[in-house]
Amino acid sequence: MIVASSSKVAPHRLQSRRFIGLYALAAAGGSASYSPFLTLLLPVRVAEIWEDRAVEILSYTAFAGAAAASLANIAFGWASDRTRNRRGWIVAGAATSGALLVAVKEVDTLSALLAMIVAWQIALNMMLAPLSAWAGDCIPDEQKGTLGGLLSAAPAIGALTGAFVTLPGFAGADMRLALVAGLAAIMVLPVVFFGKPRPMPHLMKPAAIPIGEERARIAPKISMPVRRMWLARLLMQISEAALFAFLLFWFQDINAGMSDNDTAAIFTTVLFVSIPLAVLVGRWSDRAGRPILPLTVTSACGAMGLLVMAGAQDLGIGIAGYVLFGTTAAIFLALHSGQTLRVLPRPATRGRDLGFFNLTNTVPSLIMPWLTLALVPVFGFDALFLLLSCLAALASVLLGTMRRL
């Protein structure tokens, strides 16, 4: 089925700009609710209490948190499907996760910290899972590219929130936790109370089953487009996670003078450059009725960037390769989030199904360390980047050979 251009769609079949804008703000609030805590505030607190054991304990919390987040996202997505009440779960999750975040200041034992992280991740996904599914209930296919483009701002705003609350002399450690909770609520809750989305009853009807993909009534099979979209995102997330974790070490391997501040500046620049590009590409995909083409192209460009990095002998070429990969990967992941809603066939289980897609965000954290340990000590970063380039290229092939949506 070829999707019509949004410019030719009747206005009443399009969602209001107010709702889409507030929804994008809420998605940014979702990022702000966890990114500063996991990347800055938690490591600092753990280092203050446990000092030499900080890396070990952070590893425990990362594993426990990822496991809890994976299960909770599926569970609360399913719960919001069953109750048909996305907004109630979003509000409850925002309030509970915010309260638990503030309560972290009371934790001073390892068992209490692990319990708190698990509880916080459960509450956080009580908010995030219904919020993700709500977009599928309210935003039609003709605007999903635009939605994906706007979602690209979420990681950048999460990073900015962390930079803001950690300004020297601005707030103490305990106050920073409260600030993160408050800022996240300020961004998330307006869409719940003031979004007022136009009803989209056609989005709540099950998708037609394509000829040749008939499914059993009792135990439906996963359609091929869903499988391809899931696997393609997993492959790109593995590449992105590896670069996020080891970018500094690789830069210093090329040039020992490369500092952590230099790396952070490049990473932040890439993050912000990708936002307007993602918005432009997303809007183009809506107008042209080509939702998957940008994903195919950006994953292919990401593979090329990794290939450049694998062969880089000097810092300039290495940075150029990373900029190509980082920018196109950010665009891919943002647009993919919007277009995933297009391929899920059953609105009645949309929240649960998105929970399974969320595994593509957590599973890479379990896969990536083993890839790195197997390749880098023996063959160097070149071999790792060659493998990651192959994974990104496979993602492009999966999407490029998928039937037209």
Alpha helices by DSSP H, listed for 139-259, are: 144-151, 153-165, 173-194, 224-254
Q: Residue 249: its pLDDT value, please?
A: 77
Q: For 211, which DSSP code? A: T
Strand, helix or coil for residue 109: coil
Looking at 179, 197, 215, the residue that finishes a domain is 197
Axis-axis angle for helices 144-151, 315-343 (nearest 10): 140
Q: Is 176 found in the same domain as 264?
A: no
List pLDDT tens digits, range 110-137.
999 999 999 999 999 999 999 999 999 9
Is 312 within a domain? yes
Whether 260 and 378 map to the same domain: the answer is: yes
Mean pLDDT per segment of 10 residues, for the chain of length 405 residues? Answer: 46 86 96 90 88 82 89 96 95 97 92 95 97 94 94 91 88 92 97 94 72 44 85 93 77 81 82 94 94 96 96 92 95 94 88 93 78 79 92 96 79
Model pLDDT, residue 207: 62
Residue 350: CB atoms within 10 Å: 25
- 357-382 b/e with 16+ CB inside 10 Å = b? bbbbbbbbbeebeebbeebbeeeebb
- Asked if 235 and 191 sit in the same domain, the reply is no
- Whether 177 and 228 share a structural domain: no
Residue 344 has what pLDDT? Answer: 86
Residues 31 and 165 in one domain: yes
Tokens of 106: 């009371």
| 279 and 351 inside one domain | yes
What domain count does the chain have? 2
pLDDT at 16: 94
Q: Is residue 59 part of a domain?
A: yes
Coarse DSSP helix, strand, coil percentages of the chain, rounded to the nearest 5 percent: 80, 0, 20
Return the pLDDT at 204.
85
Domain that holds residue 386: 224-400
Tokens of 247: 């970018």
Whether 250 and 117 map to the same domain: the answer is: no
Residue 207: inside a domain:
no
**Is 40 part of any domain?**
yes
pLDDT at residue number 10: 59
296: in domain? yes
Residues 159 and 115 in one domain: yes
CA distances from 307 to 57, 91, 158, 240, 318 (A): 35, 44, 29, 14, 10
CATH number, domain at 86? 1.20.1250.20
85 Rama class: left (phi>0) / alpha (psi -120 to 50) / beta: beta
Tell me the backbone φ, ψ of residue 291, rounded to 5 degrees.
-70, -30
272: its two tokens: 């912000």
On whether residue 282 sits in a domain, the answer given is yes
Give helix then strand counts, H and E, for the chain: 15, 0
Q: Is residue 215 part of a domain?
A: no
pTM above 0.95, yes or no: no
Q: How far is CA 11 from CA 14, 16, 108, 142, 344, in A?
A: 5, 9, 55, 11, 24
pLDDT given for residue 216 in this prediction:
40
Give CA separation, 6 vs 62, 142, 145, in Å: 42, 5, 10
Amino acid at the residue 117: I
Same domain, 115 and 229: no
Judge if 331 and 380 occupy the same domain.
Answer: yes
**63 and 164 fall within a common domain:** yes
Tokens 């309260």 locate to 99
Report whether 117 contacts 46 (CB < 8 A): no
Question: Is 203 a domain residue?
Answer: no
Cβ neighbours of residue 223 closer than 8 Å, sequence gap 6 or more: 210, 213, 215, 343, 345
Structure tokens at 239: 């590449």
Co-location of 282 and 354 in the same domain: yes
pLDDT in tens, 4-57: 444 455 566 899 999 999 999 999 999 999 989 988 889 888 888 888 888 788
How many degrees, rounded to 5, is the angle at CA 347 between CA 341 and CA 352? 80
